[in-house]
Amino acid sequence: MISNYPIINIYEKTSLKSKISSQLLFGEKFEILRKQNEWLKIKTSYDKYVGYIKNRKFTKNLKITHKISSLRANLYSKPERNCKTNIKLSFCSLISVTEEIKNFYRFDKYWIKKKDVKPINFKQNIFKNICMFTNTRYKWGGRSYKGIDCSALVQLFFKFNNLHCPRDTKDQIIYFKKAKKIKKDAIIFWRGHVAVCLSKKILIHAYGPKKKVLIMNIKKTLKLIEKTAKLQVIGIR
């Protein structure tokens, strides 16, 4: 099945009060493992994440042609600037383009600006545009412009470049090869936390204590996390 909703929360249990463990974005595939009243137990196709979502009407066939490249992309009812809807798709959402007029692409019943998307096979330096998430709200289990956690911030940029990346930090540190030193694009791991180096001196991470994505000095961050959370770096990738 394929998600045809902008963002769908994946829960740990069959209750809206349970913890959100991850999210599905528009166009992402998943397998239904079991139906349970108003809930579906699913496994995501990209990272094999298992959890529960509310049962809705999903689509089965969608030929993905493009992916959202901006932090959030507005949808339009017509290919005109004054026809903006209240619907937005988040970075890394997947769409099937069927028509183009001037600066717009059409998919499903909506239109989207060409500047907000790239062809599905497009690749670039993995973390080139990661700073666009700066000041995005921290949200446990989040994978979107509305809120994101530290491991999703890493995962989404690998996914955008058509590369695999596990969902959780404990799996990411095992998956990636070790690096010898801190440098640009290196990934720093603590137990339960992860950050991306923008250079030898600064990093970016979805930082729970500050409740948002921040760019911070690396040395100061290492000392801060060691002091406040009693955590030391367990790996550089």
Instruction: Give the domain CATH number at 37.
Output: 2.30.30.40
Q: Are residues 92 and 137 in the same domain?
A: no
Q: What pLDDT was estimated at residue 102?
A: 93
Q: What are the percentages of helix, strand and coil residues in the chain, rounded to 5?
A: 20, 40, 45
Helix (H) or strand (E) holding 202: strand 202-207
Q: What pLDDT was estimated at residue 180?
A: 79
Tally of domains within the chain: 3
Instruction: Determine, yes or no, domain membership for 61.
Output: no
Query: If you average pLDDT over residues 34-42, what whole number do you get?
Result: 96
Checking if the pLDDT of 127 tops 90, the result is yes
State CA 99 to chain mean position distance. 27
Query: If you average pLDDT over residues 116-130, what whole number do you get?
Result: 98
Average pLDDT of the residues of the chain:
97
Q: Are residues 82 and 160 in the same domain?
A: no
Checking if the pLDDT of 117 tops 90, the result is yes
CATH number for the domain that contains residue 168: 3.90.1720.10
> Residue 199: pLDDT band by 50, 70, 90 thresholds?
very high
Q: What pLDDT was estimated at residue 62?
A: 87
Q: Are residues 137 and 199 in the same domain?
A: yes
User: Which pTM does this prediction carry?
Assistant: 0.95
What number of other Cβ atoms are within 10 A of residue 6's Cβ?
20
Q: Are residues 111 and 139 in the same domain?
A: no
Q: Are residues 159 and 230 in the same domain?
A: yes
Q: Are residues 157 and 73 in the same domain?
A: no
Instruction: Determine, yes or no, domain membership for 124.
Output: no
Domain that holds residue 19: 7-54
Query: If you average pLDDT over residues 69-93, what whole number do you get?
Result: 97
